[in-house]
Amino acid sequence: MPMTPFHFGPGAAVKAAVPRRFSLSAFVGVNLLIDSEAVYYFVTRQYPLHRFLHTYVGATLAAVAVCVLVLLFTGLVRAFGHSQKSAGAELLPMPIVVGAALGAYSHIVLDSMMHTDIRPLAPFSDGNGLHRVITLAQLHWFCIISGIIGIAGLVAGCVYRRWSRR
């Protein structure tokens, strides 16, 4: 973590900027999967909390897993004859890959700035050159402000599309 929802802020901003090229569902899914690791070790009181899934190698595998799951879900939706049009880019292959990859790597970058127990480059190195390159307050404000900008952009996009359809 930063608390998992903080990770969604930058994702919302990217979705608002390039809605057709980015799956926010895949972005959120991979962030939840990666932080399920920290939650599990927190609940079972085993330290460190940030292990394999909080490395670039583990996050890459998490992104692949989320891509496969979302694409399987998309296949099921299609197999049952439902239209994917209403989902827009959320269920298209390329936006899913972009969303999952950005979700995974942004998660590791943001957590690397925050946590002392994360080893993002393992098994190749125990180093973490990003730790506290900015303050925790700056990190949280970055997530919050990008989230506010993202949500405002998404709402404005919805309003614009409805208005332009008239």
Site for Zn ion in 45-104 (CB under 5 A): none
Does 1 contact Zn ion by CB under 5 A? yes
143 contacts Zn ion (rule: CB under 5 A)? no
| Least distance in angstroms from the C-beta of 2 to Zn ion | 7
Burial class of residue 122 in the structure, from the number of CB atoms within 10 Å of its CB (0-12 exposed, 13-18 middle, 19+ buried):
middle
Contacts 24+ apart (CB under 8 A), 77-85: none
By CB under 5 A, the residues from 99 to 118 that bind Zn ion are 111
Residue pair 109/139 in contact (Cβ under 8 Å)? The answer is no
Q: Which of 2, 4, 19 is nearest to 150 (CA)?
A: 19
Contact 23, 67 (CB under 8 A): no
DSSP3 helix / strand / coil % (the chain, rounded to 5): 70, 0, 30
Nearer to Zn ion, 144 or 159 (CB): 144
Taking the complex as a whole, the smallest distance from the CB of residue 160 to Zn ion amounts, in Å, to: 34
For Zn ion, the closer CB: 35 or 90: 35
State the nearest-atom distance from the C-beta of 101 to Zn ion, in Å: 16
The residue within the footprint of Zn ion, chosen from 11, 19, 25, 35 (CB under 5 A), is 35
Chain residues that interact with Zn ion, rule: CB under 5 A: 1, 35, 111
